[in-house]
């Protein structure tokens, strides 16, 4: 499939079109958002389902084949928020606290972007290593911690690290992903197949509803980006390309497949809007939370959904052909 066909396929996918529908709905003041309790239920479904699927797939993976990707992912989770923070110094209208908060969001990962990329690759017939979900979990924590540390160095008050770590580790993102991974790895094939029709087969439908809600949030809070000027928006578009390309290059160097390198690129390029906001609210309570959230969900998320995922796949293909 050519790069043009890949891009068209992604742009016309239900996931992308539903996000656009939610965004447009917010702009015309139509309340198409998902009720909060339903939204929470869907997020739990996706978190546990992705973990369960990854845990089942990781059964046949040897430690030696997983060790290097895990270490590389951990290193990227430390480097990316640091580079994001330094890059944000070019945006003079925001302070160091806000730079740290934004860096924490970009150092962490987006479950929905990851899920959309997995489904996109699956529909394109491209295989991904079974431990991909474990890489998502590994990158979730260091980015948040580094971002909060960088933002907190320039204030008098110290960070409540104990409370921050507790929020990150015991929050539903990590707990459900890790729990799903362990359950998927431990349960028998028969046990997995009994729940697969619900947790695995229905993921695309639940993801569409989730994206409708995210599109609405992006459209209804679009003004946050405008308040600090265009530079934050430029960062939210350019930085994912840099981080995603870095992830794909690293994935290729450590021997991941085209699908695996693409997923590592997607993880590096994505920005959190579930785990990071909760942790930042404790670690950097004075930061402009809406700015960091709208940068990730209002600009970077739709960019990755529309353009980023097929772009990282094309980069992975080019590298594999060298």
Q: Of 243, 234, 242, give the one whose Cα is nearest residue 267.
A: 243
Q: Which of 7, 49, 77, 27 is nearest to 210 (CA)?
A: 49
- How far is Cα 68 from Cα 74, in angstroms, rounded to an integer? 10
Torsion of CA 72, 78, 84, 89, to 10 degrees: -140
Rounded to whole angstroms, how far apart are CA atoms 42 and 213?
11
Position 280 pLDDT exceeds 60: yes
pLDDT reported for residue 198: 93
What's the confidence (pLDDT) of residue 46? Answer: 85
User: How confident is the model at residue 60, as a pLDDT?
Assistant: 72
Higher-pLDDT residue of 63 and 322 is 63
Residue 68: predicted pLDDT: 95
Tens-digit pLDDT profile for residues 12-22: 778 778 888 98
pLDDT band at 294 (very low <50, low <70, confident <90, very high): confident
Distances (CA, A) of 40 to 34, 36, 122, 164: 9, 6, 26, 21
Instruction: Give the model's pLDDT for residue 175.
Output: 83
pLDDT band at 9 (very low <50, low <70, confident <90, very high): low
Q: Smallest Cα–Cα separation from 284: which of 108, 124, 159, 111?
A: 159
In angstroms, the CA 140 to CA 210 distance is 20
The distance between the two most distant Cα atoms of the chain, rounded to a whole number of Å, is 57
Look over the chain and give the mean of its residue pLDDT values, rounded to a whole number: 85
**Residues ≥6 apart with Cβ < 8 Å to 110:** 270, 271, 272, 273, 274, 296, 301, 304
The CA-based angle 216-219-222, given to 5 degrees, is 140
Neighbours of 262 (CB within 10 A): 33
- pLDDT at 127 (0 to 100): 93
Residue 128 Rama label (left phi>0; alpha psi -120 to 50; beta): beta
Count the alpha carbons within 13 Å of 123 in the hemisphere toward its beta carbon.
16
More confident residue, 72 or 34: 72
Residue that has been written with the tokens 């702009």 in this structure: 27
Q: Structural domains in the chain?
A: 3-320 (1.20.1530.20)
- Return the pLDDT at 1: 53
The predicted model scores a pTM of 0.81
Condensed to tens digits (0 to 9), the pLDDT of residues 229-256 reads: 678 889 999 999 999 999 999 999 999 9
With pLDDT > 90 as the criterion, what percentage of the chain qualifies?
Answer: 35
305 neighbors 19 (Cβ within 8 angstroms): yes
């Amino acid at each position: 499939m050519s790069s043009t066909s890949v891009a068209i396929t992604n742009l016309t996918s239900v996931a992308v079109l539903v996000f656009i529908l939610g965004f447009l709905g917010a702009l015309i003041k139509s309340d198409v958002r998902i009720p909060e309790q339903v939204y929470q239920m869907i997020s739990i479904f996706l978190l546990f389902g992705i973990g369960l699927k990854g845990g089942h797939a990781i059964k046949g993976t040897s430690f030696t084949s997983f060790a290097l990707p895990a270490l590389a992912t951990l290193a990227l989770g430390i480097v990316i928020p640091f580079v994001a923070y330094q890059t944000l110094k070019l945006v003079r209208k925001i302070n160091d606290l806000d730079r740290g908060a934004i860096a924490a969001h970009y150092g962490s990962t987006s479950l929905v972007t990851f899920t959309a990329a997995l489904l996109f690759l699956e529909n394109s017939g491209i295989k991904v290593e079974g431990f991909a979900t474990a890489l998502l979990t590994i990158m979730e924590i260091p980015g948040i911690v580094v971002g909060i540390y960088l933002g907190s160095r320039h204030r008098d008050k110290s960070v409540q690290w104990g409370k921050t770590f507790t929020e990150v580790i015991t929050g539903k993102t990590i707990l459900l992903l890790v729990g799903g991974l362990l359950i998927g790895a431990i349960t028998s094939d028969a046990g997995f197949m009994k729940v697969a029709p619900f947790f695995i087969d229905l993921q695309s439908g639940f993801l569409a509803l989730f994206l409708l809600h995210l599109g609405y949030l992006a459209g209804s809070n679009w003004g946050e980006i405008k308040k600090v000027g265009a530079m934050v928006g430029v960062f939210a578009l350019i930085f994912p390309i840099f981080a995603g390309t870095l992830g794909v290059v690293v994935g290729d160097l450590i021997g991941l497949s085209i699908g695996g390198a693409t997923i590592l690129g997607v993880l590096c390029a994505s920005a959190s809007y579930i785990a990071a906001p909760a942790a930042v609210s404790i670690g950097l309570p004075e930061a402009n939370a809406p700015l960091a959230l709208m940068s990730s969900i209002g600009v970077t998320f739709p960019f990755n959904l529309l353009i980023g995922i097929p772009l990282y796949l094309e980069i992975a293909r080019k590298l594999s052909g060298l």
